[in-house]
């Protein structure tokens, strides 16, 4: 098969579409013919040589994919050759085929096309596991989501709204702030123009956030704690602003606050706290919201997989809203791009707006 190989790690890395050995599914795995994958910021870090795959994972980039089941291992139940699926991967998505533990496979939700579905597993599992399973989000709470226009942010806004929360976001561009409002954000803070430490309390009658979903890390630690409501939870899932910071324990104790850090990729495939556990919850609780159109994939653009370097540049430059998808050669679901990059089509955009 062919796959994207990182020839020279760096920023930007040299990414080459080249022949590699086919994956062999283990007894508990499903082999997927990939229709599409999607770019995650972690892919850029891995391509730069800063984020090695966990032990045993494919060295090929790609934390999610959609496609058609091509083979099932002998211990697999519930999946059949020909099923259209999407999957949460520990790696290997930027390829024509990928083998994945059966517990990380999901059906393509009703109303979502096969290529779009490639952008769902990573954001769905990250958002559901952190907001719902870890932070215990409930109706009536206020959630602050940093990077509202990111793949993660666009899913988190919609999920939090569906669960009855008041949603605040930070973002940096007028168009992104507006898109976040369209997705349901009640409070949109331009992080270049305003300090969320003053803007959020001002917009919430002084209350602040019951949950902060943070992708910045060290640079925002003190300020995130400063906006926590009593009993609030700061859930850190990214380190775009560094990994080491001083924690003001006094400030945390006064709020009876909690700080939690999680990663999805390093979780075990099965067992307590595993990817399979999250995937099962996502399938049971979030997939119905997607199937009835209450939560939609937000797609920025679709790039042909052999041109993955172009997709990485789009994410590195910023300004995208939602997911950048990578369509495998022969992947179904979108029309042929003239220049290798498809913008998100208006009819799908209208649908995602009209549903809320």
Ligand X SMILES: NC(=O)c1ccc[n+]([C@@H]2O[C@H](COP(=O)([O-])OP(=O)(O)OC[C@H]3O[C@@H](n4cnc5c(N)ncnc54)[C@H](OP(=O)(O)O)[C@@H]3O)[C@@H](O)[C@H]2O)c1
| Binding residue count for ligand X, defined by CB under 6 A | 28
- Residue 256 sits at φ, ψ, to 5 deg, of 50, 45
Using DSSP, state whether 80 is helix, strand or coil.
Answer: coil
Closest CA to 181 of 203, 208, 207, 206: 203
Stretch binding ligand X (CB under 6 A), from 39-47, 109-117, 252-260, 272-280 = 39-47
Question: Contact between 53 and ligand X (CB under 6 A)?
Answer: no
Stretch that binds ligand X, among 35-43, 72-80, 83-91, 249-257 (CB under 6 A): 35-43
Between 31 and 63, CB nearer to ligand X: 63
For the bound state, the minimum distance from the C-beta of residue 267 to ligand X, rounded and expressed in Å, comes to 8
According to CB under 6 A, which residues from 109 to 168 bind ligand X? 122, 126, 146-147, 149-153
Q: Using CB under 6 A, which residues numbered 212 to 241 contact ligand X?
A: 215-216, 237-238, 240
Least Cβ distance, residue 241 to ligand X (angstroms): 6
| Contact call for residue 188 and ligand X (CB under 6 A) | no
- The residues with which 5 forms a beta bridge, in sequence order, are 16
Edge to edge, the sheet with strand 228-236 lists 187-190, 166-171, 142-146, 209-214, 228-236, 258-261
Q: In the complex with ligand X, which residue's Cβ is closer, 171 or 334?
A: 171
Q: Which residue lies nearer to ligand X by CB, 134 or 166?
A: 134
Find, among 79, 137, 142, the residue nearest to 106 by Cα. 79
161's CB contacts (< 8 A; 6+ apart) are 167, 183, 184, 356
Our finding on whether 58 is near ligand X (CB under 6 A) is no
Task: Give the integer Cα–Cα distance in Å for 63 and 263.
Answer: 13
How far apart are alpha carbons 348 and 356 in whole angstroms?
Answer: 14
- Tokens representing 126? 């990250």
**Given the complex with ligand X, which of 27 and 260 has the nearer CB atom?**
260
| Of 275, 18, 260, 326, the residue nearest 121 (C-alpha) | 275
In angstroms, give the least distance from the CB of 148 to ligand X.
7
Which of residues 85, 311, 315, 342 is near ligand X by CB under 6 A? 315
- The HSE-up count of residue 239 (CA atoms within 13 Å, CB side) is 11
Q: Please, what is the minimum distance in Å from the beta carbon of residue 41 to ligand X? A: 4
- The least CB distance from residue 248 to ligand X, in Å, is 20
Q: Which is nearer to ligand X, 17 or 128 (CB)?
A: 128
Assess contact for 309 and 172: CB atoms under 8 A: no
The residues with which 200 forms a beta bridge, in sequence order, are none
Residues between 240 and 269 with contacts to ligand X, criterion CB under 6 A: 240, 262-264
**Dist CA 121 CA 139 (whole Å):** 24
User: Which one, 23 or 149, has the nearer CB to ligand X?
Assistant: 149
Site residues for ligand X per CB under 6 A = 40-42, 122, 126, 146-147, 149-153, 170-173, 176, 191, 215-216, 237-238, 240, 262-264, 315, 318
């Amino acid at each position: 098969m062919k796959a994207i190989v990182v020839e020279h790690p760096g920023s930007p890395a040299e990414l080459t579409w080249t022949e590699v050995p086919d994956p062999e599914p283990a007894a508990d795995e499903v082999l997927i013919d990939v229709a599409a994958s999607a770019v995650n910021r972690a892919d850029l870090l891995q391509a730069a040589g800063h984020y090695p795959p966990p032990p045993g994972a494919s060295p090929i980039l790609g934390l999610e994919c959609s496609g058609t089941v091509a083979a099932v291992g002998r211990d697999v139940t519930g999946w059949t050759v020909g099923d259209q699926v999407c999957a949460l991967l520990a790696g290997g998505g930027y390829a024509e085929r990928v083998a994945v533990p059966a517990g990380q496979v999901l059906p393509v939700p009703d109303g979502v096309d096969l290529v779009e579905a490639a952008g769902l597993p990573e954001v769905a599992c990250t958002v559901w596991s952190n907001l719902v399973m870890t932070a215990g989000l409930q109706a009536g709470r206020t959630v602050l989501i940093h990077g509202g226009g990111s793949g993660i942010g666009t899913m988190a806004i919609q999920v939090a709204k569906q669960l009855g929360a008041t949603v605040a976001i930070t973002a940096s561009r007028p168009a992104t702030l507006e898109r976040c409002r369209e997705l349901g954000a009640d409070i949109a803070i331009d992080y270049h123009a305003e300090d969320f430490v003053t803007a959020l309390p001002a917009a919430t009658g002084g209350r602040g956030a019951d949950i902060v979903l943070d992708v910045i890390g060290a640079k925002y630690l003190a300020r995130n704690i400063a906006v926590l409501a009593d009993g609030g939870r700061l859930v850190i899932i990214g380190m775009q602003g560094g990994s080491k910071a001083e924690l003001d324990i006094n400030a945390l104790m006064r709020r009876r606050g909690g700080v939690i850090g999680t990663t999805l990729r390093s979780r075990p495939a099965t067992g307590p706290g595993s990817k399979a556990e999250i995937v099962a919850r996502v399938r049971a609780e979030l997939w119905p919201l997607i199937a009835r159109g209450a939560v939609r994939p937000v797609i920025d653009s679709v790039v042909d997989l052999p041109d993955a370097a172009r997709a990485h540049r789009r994410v590195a430059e910023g300004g995208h809203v939602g997911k950048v998808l990578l369509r495998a050669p022969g992947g179904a679901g979108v029309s042929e791009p003239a220049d290798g990059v498809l913008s998100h089509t208006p009819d799908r955009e209208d649908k995602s707006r009209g549903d809320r």
